[in-house]
Amino acid sequence: MSTEVRELSYSQAIQEAMAIALEADERVVLMGEDIGVYGGAFQVTGDLIERFGPERVMDTPISELGGAGVAVGAAVTGLRPIFEFQFSDFATLAMEQIVNQAAKMRYMLGGAVSVPVVMRFPAGSGTGAAAQHSQSLEAWLGHVPGLKVIQPATPHDAKGMLLAAVADPDPVMIFEHKLLYKMKGPVPEGHYTVPIGKAAIRRSGTDLTIVATSIMVHKALEAAETLAAEGIDVEVVDLRSIRPMDSATIIASVIKTHRLLCVYEGVKTLGIGAEISAMIAESEAFDRLDAPIVRLGGAETPIPYNPELEKAAVPQVPGIVAAARDLVRGVR
Amino acid sequence: MTAPATAPAATDSTNLPFLYRHYPREELLGALRRMHLIRRFEEAAEESYMRGLIHGTMHLSIGQEASAVGICLPLTREDQITSTHRGHGHCIAKGADVSRMFAEFFGKTTGYCGGRGGSMHIADVSTGNLGANGIVGGGIPIAVGAALTAKRLRTGKVAVSFFGDGANNEGAFHEALNMASVWKLPVVFVCENNGYGMSTSTERSTAVPNIADRAAAYAMPGVIVDGNDLSAVAQASHEAVERARRGEGPSLIECKTYRHRGHSKSDRNRYRTKDEIDDWMANRDPIARYEAQLSEFGIAGAAEIEAVRLAVRAEIDAGIEFAKASPAPATADLADYVYTEQQ
Amino acid sequence: MPVEVILPKVDMDMATGRISQWFFADGAKVEKGDVLFEIETDKAAMEIDAPASGVLRDITGKEGIDIAVGSAVAWIYEAGEAHGVAAVPATVEAVRAVPAAPAEAEPAAARPAAAPAPVVAGGTCCAGDVRATPLARRVAREFGLDLASIAGSGPHGRILEKDVTAARAAGPLVSQTHVPTAPVAAFEAPAAASLASGPSDDQVKKLFAAGSYEEIPHDGMRKTIARRLIEAKQTIPHFYVTVDCELDALLKLRAELNAAAPEKDGKPAYKLSVNDMVIKALALALKAVPDANVSWTDGAMLKHKEADGDAGVSSEGSPLRRGPTPRSVTHDEATSARATTAAALAALLPPRCR
């Protein structure tokens, strides 16, 4: 049976995944603020409420902590909730239920329960929403054993990884970059999953490995085109999964190219790039490095409102090109 | 336990308290047994702790037995509860095996949590106990989630959320009660008000004189009961559980009670007077009151009550032996149960 | 049966406790609930009640010493109960607090290794000081190349993999074209030296034949300058300048000399290497600039009377290759042969002053 592949936007792909999940399993329930008739702050849920009704597509009051806790309790007792946070920044309100309850209940109860909850977080900057609506907090949650944390970067993966998350018996936190919602890409029809815990090589190369997450994957690919014209051949790895992280793919890539550049939007210090760098320094790839490991991450500031400042606060294509060039030419 | 039946009591039934009109004698003795089991379990746990056998700390519920047992009387085995850091009593009231509780406190693999949770996270999912919780207010939204599942999947189950007076000032309490009411979920909120959130009295911390007063803010019935009167507690619970099962939504029950011991094992009881503690212990002990009633209503005499006590003592002693003899987890197994193993 | 009075655990993480005060003495009548003693804890004194009524005896828990949690510290006998008949527990052993191991002073961190001498034909010293990427090190190791003899093209003189590869391709001999900045002398491999400090004056002098140099003591200013230079070398990033030399004329001369070698037993009596030629050039330069023909000691500059040359030999397979048996052909070739023998070393090259 051939599966048709069509162009969908990232948000359409997510909606399609949720529709498939709702259809297939009566235990699946969507929860979030304004996800019903309003269609979701980023129009991701769209008209799902018309298709599945208010009992399956539940508007919650503005109660992130309580709402996340209800989702946890429901997951422990037999439902498969997909809880949408309106902005990833609001994860801070729910940290108690995410970190102390969802992540730990299975362990604290010695395996007596599982917590199959999915939480979705629109994240990242570039919309002028400023400091409290633009953060990238995946490293915070990636730091917590018991959670799984993913960042699909393409419409194809957004659908497949969400379906994998719904099927996962453990809590899965999905960070979706807001600027990706309108990006289009090929998405197969029907049900399929993209495995959690596997990175993807988006561009094969020999001179430098760029490991990037989310929207930075696309910036890295753009930079790679510029660099190719200069004779610099870059390999771009889409990390996709923060916890568990696919170290094997990164290690193999760095062994091949001898150079590593990490590009991510979260604040640079104590972020994902720091983990990747340390992991490589401890690995087989260490003595294949022919250049220092460089990280391009978010600035050590809250995200500013002014659009130029906002852009300057996170890595951009010219910065990626310059860093890559310096590394490969051996001047850094 | 089985659903309450309307059973005739030993004497004229019309004037008897609720408990004696709704439960047969064996259930009444069962409740006495469970109250003694809680009391003796707490005392034995305390003694083990003082002997250095128990790691960490404990939060004892001595004095609150009627609240735990009374609330759980109308519940079935499948109904679910979430509990607090002071959760040993709830665990036993819902039907747990004390030997596995001791094993858990001793950190053994045979404990309910495989030695990974300890006192503050004690749970028994097989009897519907989704766990004690180390976070004040942590279990309240979780119970609402369990009620959501019951409603969505039409299982007929009811969820009970136990929490203390301190929790009623946590944001999670307010968010959870509001959602339960908006969605008309089958959950019963039970506040065991023992007068103190650790060292801070309710007078100093809570803006209203009774926690049940807050029920009105969330459009649900709020009931105050003498938490040391087993029958009163059972009656309030029965009404709330039936309301939930009928699909009419949540209720809030405030059990006024008292804990004989300090907040935890580090508590010096500086914030309350010895007279106050002595008064509750001597004059308002829930077990003594229940035994007096059983005797008064001719349900059980001194000999039968003593037999219950002896049986409980034996059960406790056997539980401790079991726990002592059980193996400890292997260090190599540290990472077990972080995630669900998948085939 | 006498009732045990134990020292209870009253705090998390409590393994021992101290009784600060007993309120009853041996032989006293106590009621259940009476406060028998107080325990000292981090937070506040904790009163411990009598678990039974009776006569307090055998107070074994002494005040002010550490007692293990759960130990019996006294007994309560019923009025009239025989005492001394039942086995009296041994005196509670005071638990000796394990004294904290005195904090070991961290051994003073070894002084940072002396910065490498500018990479010259000068031996395999200071390999640990060379800046090189992990990959460059690995490749150098694999091919037995000496990092100290490789020019680094990366920032701060860092040796990159391509530099090692290029060095390997250039052949086993001189692989760099630095302007020599200091004369060097042949010397034997001393015992593995610490790189943290230079050799003593006596060690330096031992490298040269007695009477082959004149000692010129340093004045104060020169000593200060030297100290500052060493400090600068170790704390400030350095970079090195290279000069490409066209060796066409030298190679032509070499070819002519070798072609002119007399035959002995059907073979040329000698065969000059490029190495030999370079050393000769070096020796001539040293003769022309005697002030550069010196060795440093902390006390004095050793001004050499002869110009000698030596070369570190980088070769495939092993950096510790013994040189060929010296042939008595040319003085310089003999010198060179001595030099290749002396290439078996892992010593610190005495830092030179310019």
Band (pLDDT 50/70/90 cuts) for residue A127 is very high
Number of CB pairs, chain A paired with chain C, less than 8 A apart: 30
Q: Is A112 on the interface with C (CB under 8 A)?
A: no
Residue A77 has pLDDT above 80, yes or no: yes
Query: Among B261, B263, B265, which would you mutate to test the C interface (most chain C Cβ atoms within 10 Å of its Cβ)?
Result: B265
Q: Which of A33, A64, A138, A235 is catalytic?
A: A64
**Residues of B at the C interface (Cβ-Cβ below 8 Å)?**
49-52, 56-57, 265-266, 268, 270
Amino acid at B342: Q
Contact B175 A66 (CB under 8 A): yes
Distance from CA of C159 to the nearest CA of A (A): 9
Band (pLDDT 50/70/90 cuts) for residue C299 is confident
C136 contacts on A by Cβ (under 8 Å): 290
What is the residue extent of each domain of chain B?
13-322
Provide the angle, in degrees to the nearest 10, between the axes of the packed helices B65-72 and B286-296: 60
Q: What is the CA radius of gyration of chain A?
A: 20
* Section A10-22 average pLDDT: 98
Taking CA–CA distances from B161, the nearest residue in chain A reads A73
Distance from CA of A280 to the nearest CA of B (A): 23
* Section C121-131 average pLDDT: 53
Mind listing the pLDDT tens digit for each residue in A302-320? 999 999 999 999 999 999 9
Taking CA–CA distances from A329, the nearest residue in chain C reads C154
d(Cα B155, Cα A79) in Å, to the nearest integer? 12
Q: Which of A33, A84, A133, A156 is catalytic?
A: A133
Write down the mean pLDDT value for chain C: 72
**Partners of chain B (3+ Cβ pairs below 8 A):** A, C
CATH homologous superfamily for the domain A8-188: Thiamin diphosphate (ThDP)-binding fold, Pyr/PP domains (3.40.50.970)
Provide the angle, in degrees to the nearest 10, between the axes of the packed helices B25-50 and B98-105: 20
ipTM of the complex: 0.94
Write down the mean pLDDT value for chain A: 97
Contact C161 A290 (CB under 8 A): yes
A146 contacts on B by Cβ (under 8 Å): 338-339
Contact B50 C46 (CB under 8 A): no
Residue C276 has pLDDT above 50, yes or no: yes
Taking CA–CA distances from C46, the nearest residue in chain B reads B268
pLDDT at C186: 40
Query: Among A65, A77, A107, A144, which would you mutate to test the B interface (most chain B Cβ atoms within 10 Å of its Cβ)?
Result: A77
Residue A55 annotated among the catalytic residues of the structure:
no
Looking at domain A200-328, which of 3.30.70.920, 3.30.499.10, 1.20.840.10, 3.40.50.920 is its CATH number?
3.40.50.920
Residue B219 has pLDDT above 80, yes or no: yes
Mind listing the pLDDT tens digit for each residue in B118-173? 999 999 999 999 999 999 999 999 999 999 999 999 999 999 999 999 999 999 99
Residue A84 annotated among the catalytic residues of the structure:
no
A331 contacts on C by Cβ (under 8 Å): 154-155
**Partners of chain A (3+ Cβ pairs below 8 A):** B, C
Mind listing the pLDDT tens digit for each residue in A247-283? 999 999 999 999 999 999 999 999 999 999 999 999 9
Identify which has the larger pLDDT, A172 or C311: A172
For the ranges A307-316, B256-265, C71-80, C195-204, the lowest mean pLDDT is seen at C195-204
Contact A332 C155 (CB under 8 A): yes
Distance from CA of C238 to the nearest CA of A (A): 15
Contact A109, B113 (CB under 8 A): yes
Taking CA–CA distances from B151, the nearest residue in chain A reads A55
What is the residue extent of each domain of chain A?
8-188, 200-328
Nearest-by-Cβ selection for B56 from C12, C15, C70: C12
Amino acid at C322: R
pLDDT at C336: 52
Q: Mapped to the 3 state alphabet, what secondary structure does chain B carry?
A: CCCCCCCCCCCCCCCCCHHHHHCCHHHHHHHHHHHHHHHHHHHHHHHHHHCCCCCCCCCCCCCCHHHHHHHHCCCCCCCEEECCCCCHHHHHHCCCCHHHHHHHHCCCCCCCCCCCCCHHHCCEHHHCECCCCCCCCCHHHHHHHHHHHHHHCCCCCCEEEEEECHHHHCHHHHHHHHHHHHCCCCEEEEEEECCEECCEEHHHHCCCCCHHHHHHHHCCCEEEEECCCHHHHHHHHHHHHHHHHCCCCCEEEEEECCCCCCCCCCCCCCCCCHHHHHHHHHHCCHHHHHHHHHHHCCCCCHHHHHHHHHHHHHHHHHHHHHHHHCCCCCHHHCCCCCCCCCC
Distance from CA of B281 to the nearest CA of C (A): 14
Band (pLDDT 50/70/90 cuts) for residue C173 is low
Distance from CA of B123 to the nearest CA of A (A): 7
Q: pTM of the full predicted structure?
A: 0.74
Identify which has the larger pLDDT, B154 or C123: B154
CATH homologous superfamily for the domain B13-322: Thiamin diphosphate (ThDP)-binding fold, Pyr/PP domains (3.40.50.970)
Band (pLDDT 50/70/90 cuts) for residue C176 is very low
pLDDT at C319: 37
